[in-house]
Amino acid sequence: MDEKNADKRCAGYSFKPAEWKAIEVHRYFLSQKFRREVSINETIDNWLKYFSEQWRRDHPLPGGGENELLSLAEWQAIQVHKYFLSQKSGQEVSSEDATKDWLEHYAQKWRQERMKMSCSDQLKEIEKFKWLESERAGHDKGKEAVLEWIEKYADQWRMKWEKNHGN
Q: How many domains does the chain have?
A: 2
Average confidence (pLDDT) over 72-78? 80
For residue 92, being part of any structural domain is answered with: no
136 in a structural domain: yes
Beta bridge partners of residue 14, listed in sequence order: 70
d(CA 21, CA 51): 13
Domain end: 36, 59, 82, which one? 59
Structure confidence at residue 131 (pLDDT): 95
Residues ≥6 apart with Cβ < 8 Å to 55: 19, 22, 47
- What is the chain's percent helix, strand, coil content, to nearest 5? 80, 0, 20
3-state secondary structure of 71: strand
- DSSP at 139: S
Residue 64 falls in which region: left (phi positive, over 0), alpha (psi -120 to 50) or beta: left
| Position with higher pLDDT, 73 vs 2 | 73
pLDDT tens digits along 119-136: 899 999 999 999 999 999
pLDDT band at 139 (very low <50, low <70, confident <90, very high): very high
Q: How far apart are the C-alpha atoms of 47 and 54, rounded to whole Å?
A: 10
Mutual orientation of helices 40-50 and 3-10 as an angle, nearest 10°?
Answer: 40
Q: For residue 98, what pLDDT is reported?
A: 87
- Taking alpha carbons only, the member of 17, 35, 27 closest to residue 51 is 27
Greater confidence (48 vs 89) lies with 89
pLDDT at 7: 35
pLDDT for the residue 69: 64
The range of the structural domain enclosing residue 152 comes to 109-164
Give a yes or no: residue 76 inside a domain: no
User: Predicted confidence band at 90 (pLDDT cuts at 50, 70, 90)?
Assistant: very high
Quickly state the pLDDT bin for 61 (edges 50, 70, 90).
low
- Residue 5's pLDDT is 37
Residue at 93 is within a domain: no
Which of 60, 35, 59, 55 is closest to 44 using CA atoms? 55
Indicate the residue among 40, 59, 78 that finishes a domain: 59
Q: Is residue 27 part of a domain?
A: yes
What single-letter DSSP state applies at residue 91?
S
Asked if pLDDT for residue 88 goes beyond 80, the answer is yes
Tell me whether residue 79 is in a domain.
no
pLDDT digits (tens, 9 = 90+) for 11-30: 456 677 777 778 888 888 88
Q: Does residue 64 fall inside a structural domain?
A: no
150 Cα distance to chain centroid:
18
Record the pTM: 0.55
In one-letter notation, the amino acid at residue 68 is E
| Residue 1 confidence (pLDDT) | 39
Average pLDDT, the chain: 81
Structural domain includes residue 15: yes
